[in-house]
Amino acid sequence: MDDNSRRRQEDWERSLAAWKSKQNKESSVPHHQPKPVSTPSQDQYSSKAFNKFLIFLAFAIPLALLGYALYINYLPFGYEKSYELTVDENGVISPLSNEIYLTTPQGRKLLSLPEGVQGQVNLVIDPKVVLKNSTINVSIEGDNVYLAPLLSLDLDSMEWDHNWDFSQNIPEEFEGTAEYNEEEACTHFNAYNEQTLNLPNSEDMFESGPMSIYVKWKPSYVSQKLGNNQQLAGHFNWEIWQNEKSVQFRVGRMNDANGSMHSISYPIDLEFFGKEHEALAVYSPSEDGNGYIELWIDKNLAGRALIGSDVIYPDYNFNISLNFGWSSHNNGNNPYYDGCLYEVKVTDIALKEERNQFEINGINGKMVIPVIGNGNLKVLKAIISQ
């Protein structure tokens, strides 16, 4: 090999060695490692999901409440609900509910009827929705118990033993100082002048056997200020009184001069005065112990009270005739009545309003339905629809 060839060979070998040396140096320097990408932990994922759920609830709960309020107030899809109340053989009432229950006439909630219905209890139906012109259908099952929602008897078309019209004039058989008022079209009683009327020779009438008494009247605003025991109509051993806060039907004494007295009251307020009203008082004696008295005011049942086998003691009236406008009870200290008298009717029949089923339209809220009688109540059913 000549010198030129040898030099070229040596130059190539040196270049190769230099290149290898350079490669070795580069390979000995560590390469740059990319920073690892961090990923959320499972706890972080859970925390974010929980926060989103809380945010959802913050909006969902008010919307749900608003939707519920709108529904119960407007019932856009209509409404129908059935209720059933039962009384078992021990008198226990089921279910225990705030939507359907029984109370005493004074409003105390009853949990049982161990002796059945003794005169009157009230069925209360209180749906937890806003009703508007709804319909209710109620039925009852039991022994000698009935529903008494509103008086439906047609009192005008009935035959009465005595029917006195005081809206045209004062019937000639009456005596007294009350005066006919053409402007009011009534017989007017002026308490300032202590005006009254009476039916002569009636001291032994209207006291033996059953009877029903109807009175139509309009108490004045003066009457509201006069106090208790203003007599509308009475025979001393029974009376229909008007007080400042109630209208009352009283009977007694019963059986003898020392016997008991029974009464029913209907609450009134200032709005009652200056308006026409109707009263129907019922006396229903019974030898088998199922006697009762009953009072209706403006077709609403004021109440039924049991009197057992008691009967009015005839001699207790001290020969006092049927009279209007004042009662001599309480040693003659009762106030006089002030206002109008339109009609008085009497029959020797104990009129009855006893129903096993009824339907009423136009219901707008809580309902109180009297249940009357003297027996065992078994089932009450009600259907409300709108």
57 pLDDT above the threshold of 90: no
Mean pLDDT of 223-239: 95
| Kind and range of the H or E run holding 339 | strand 339-347
Tell me the pTM: 0.78
**Is 331 found in the same domain as 196?**
yes
Structural domain count of the chain: 3
One domain for residues 193 and 296: yes
Does the pLDDT at position 242 exceed 60?
Answer: yes
The answer to whether position 33 is within a domain reads no
pLDDT at 381 over 70: yes
**Is 27 within the bounds of a domain?**
no
211 & 305 share domain: yes
Residues 198 and 322 reside in one and the same domain: yes
Residue-wise pLDDT for 278-336, tens only, equals: 999 999 999 999 999 999 999 999 999 999 999 999 999 888 999 999 999 988 999 99
Same domain? For 212 and 328 the reply is: yes
One domain for residues 205 and 343: yes
Confidence band (pLDDT; 50, 70, 90) for 220? very high
Same domain, 363 and 272: no
CATH code at 116?
Answer: 2.60.40
> Has residue 156 been placed in a domain?
no
In a domain, 240, yes or no: yes
Q: How far apart are CA 268 and CA 248, in angstroms?
A: 11
Average pLDDT over residues 243-262: 96
With 70 as the cut, is the pLDDT of residue 105 above it?
yes
18 located within any domain: no
91: left (phi over 0), alpha (psi -120 to 50) or beta: left
Is residue 197 a part of any domain in this protein?
A: yes
pLDDT higher than 80, residue 257: yes
Q: Are residues 73 and 90 in the same domain?
A: no
15 domain-assigned: no
Q: Are residues 271 and 361 in the same domain?
A: no
Residue ranges making up the domain that contains 243: 162-347
- Predicted pLDDT of residue 98: 93
Question: In terms of DSSP H, where are the helices of 257-312?
Answer: none
Sign for the CA dihedral angle at 197, 203, 205, 210 comes to: positive
Q: Is 10 domain-assigned?
A: no
Same domain, 338 and 191: yes
Higher pLDDT, residue 327 or 33: 327
d(CA 106, CA 370) in angstroms, rounded, equals 12
Confidence of residue 384 (pLDDT cuts 50, 70, 90): very high
Q: Are residues 220 and 337 in the same domain?
A: yes
Burial of 18 (0-12, 13-18, 19+ CB in 10 A): exposed
Q: What number is the average pLDDT over the span 120-148? A: 91
pLDDT number for residue 23 = 65
Pair 305, 189 in one domain: yes
